[in-house]
Amino acid sequence: MRRLLIGCLFLLASIATANGEESAPKFKADIPKSIQTPDLVKTTLLGELKFSDGMPSPETVRKAYDFLDVARAAEAFLAGVPAASLYAVLEGFKSTGMKPCDLGIFEDLLDARSLFLTPNTISVYAMQEINVKDGPIVVDVPPGVLGPVQDAFFRYVVDFGVIGPDKGKGGRYVFAHESYDGQLPQGTFHVRTKTYRNGAFFRAPVKDGDTAAAANGIKASFRCYPLAQSKNPPKQRFVNLTGKQFNTIHSNDFNFFDELNAVIQYEPTDAYDPVSLGLFASIGIQKGKAFKPDKRMRGLLEEGVAIGNAAARSISFANRDRSVYYYPDRQWFASFAGPHDFIEDGALNSDKRLLWLYNATGVTPAMSTPKVGTGSVYPMAARDSDGKYLDGGENYTVTLPAPIPVNNFWAFTAYDGQTRSLLETSQRRAGLDSTDPDLKPNDDGSYTIYFGPSAPAGKASNWVQTMPGKSYFVFMRLYGPLEPWFDKTWKPGDFEKVK
């Protein structure tokens, strides 16, 4: 009987072991709590996430994938701004009838009718597309101009002018894609590009208010044509852009992804880094594939671009990085902070890249590391001395102490908080500069500038008009900044609200 009982117990134990019902495994690890997933996880963004011994419930799976798609869409917006911005510029040129190698010139300066990211209204701007997809392009650059060339991802390519290879004397540049293996003519400046489409932006100084002379100086020697047509170059075409209503600013809604997709489809795959291309691919933007999100994905992309745009505007106008502020007791901060490639200690500072490229056009080492007495700096302010956003219905003063540390001249320009283009007012220039003969200094040599809907009595020469109901921000440009700017012994005043 006893043997029979023992046999039955042994049989039951064997069956239990075979069915996986062993009470304790023989091989057991000391599992840290930190690598385990509780059956219930509470989050701020997604609420409750439920699991069964680590396996996500269907609702948790849905929440997780929705979050991933929205997060990746937001990050794709932030990472894709440089590409979409250059694309919007080049497409804006096309909308005016310009083709690659045509040169658009703001012959009588730029005003608010043309939508550009934070342009100035002091110099004669000239702009063009340099497209090397079908072969090298020759560009004859006039003497005395200044400006950079950017590739399709808004990366620096080369400078024209005094800080470029021609040293301000002008010269012949030949642009070719990196894959081009033919011969390039000797005695020219050879420039290789990673992308097919490239944008050139340069300006000519205006002397004694003579904009026509500056524009004609550009036209006299500028030429652009395919290298294959060198023996019989076509007639150069110029387009006067002054007064034209056209847009060069990328979208902030779902259309942004169409703009980004157009860049990815056109440019060679190896033109951009694999990490960013992988991010774009994760939301359906991949070379050689149609970008056709379904209803669910489109809704999440719209959510993501809205969040990305909110982040871009927070970085632009409420930056939490105190290192971009020039002074601990001022609201002025660097619109262009860090090196021209935005790489610091081997890491890309994506916030600083966005701070500049969400609000401006043009990247060059001359902006990030100007030498004393040369180049230019672009301090930016969006708030008054009390930390409140500038209000177009209020009146403010800004005082620049004497002497203002510039080798050339200084300027203020007001920009629309929505478009980041010139503020639309009845003042064509949306600002003023120190070359204006009517500008009046204070008795001690300092300058006080007035911002508001109407000019204070007797101060019209020092007044920048703003519009009630409109937000705005201001660039203070210093051309040829001197040592007191760099060592910070000179401080511009904040915007002081007139009470």
Q: Could you identify the residue written with the tokens 């003497």?
A: 143
Instruction: Specify the amino acid at residue 110.
Output: L
User: Does the pLDDT of residue 1 top 80, yes or no?
Assistant: no
- pTM of the full structure: 0.93
pLDDT, one tens digit per residue, over 342-374 is 999 999 999 999 999 999 999 998 888 788 988
User: Does the pLDDT of residue 304 top 50, yes or no?
Assistant: yes
> For position 266, what pLDDT does the model report?
98
pLDDT, one tens digit per residue, over 16-67 is 555 545 578 999 999 999 999 999 999 999 999 999 999 999 999 999 999 9
Q: Could you identify the residue written with the tokens 């908080």?
A: 417
Name the nearest CA neighbour of 117 among 412, 474, 361. 361
Instruction: Please compute the mean of the pLDDT values over residues 425-445 and round it to a whole number.
Output: 96
Q: Could you identify the residue written with the tokens 């190698």?
A: 101
What gap in Å lies between CA 98 and CA 246, rounded to an integer?
A: 12
**Which residues are within 8 A (CB) of 70 and not within 5 positions of it... i.e. 6 or more apart?**
300, 303, 304, 307
What gap in Å lies between CA 442 and CA 211, rounded to an integer?
A: 29
Q: Could you identify the residue written with the tokens 């019902």?
A: 21
> For position 9, what pLDDT does the model report?
46
Contact (CB, 8 A) for 241 and 96 = yes
What gap in Å lies between CA 416 and CA 117, rounded to an integer?
A: 10
Contact (CB, 8 A) for 203 and 104 = no
What gap in Å lies between CA 6 and CA 353, rounded to an integer?
A: 77
pLDDT, one tens digit per residue, over 219-238 is 999 999 999 999 999 999 99
Contact (CB, 8 A) for 235 and 111 = no
**Which residues are within 8 A (CB) of 75 and not within 5 positions of it... i.e. 6 or more apart?**
279, 308
Q: What is the mean pLDDT of the chain?
A: 94
pLDDT, one tens digit per residue, over 140-194 is 999 999 999 999 999 999 999 988 999 999 999 999 999 999 999 999 999 999 9
Question: From the CB of residue 326, how many other CB atoms can be counted at a distance below 10 Å?
Answer: 17
Q: Could you identify the residue written with the tokens 């002497």?
A: 403
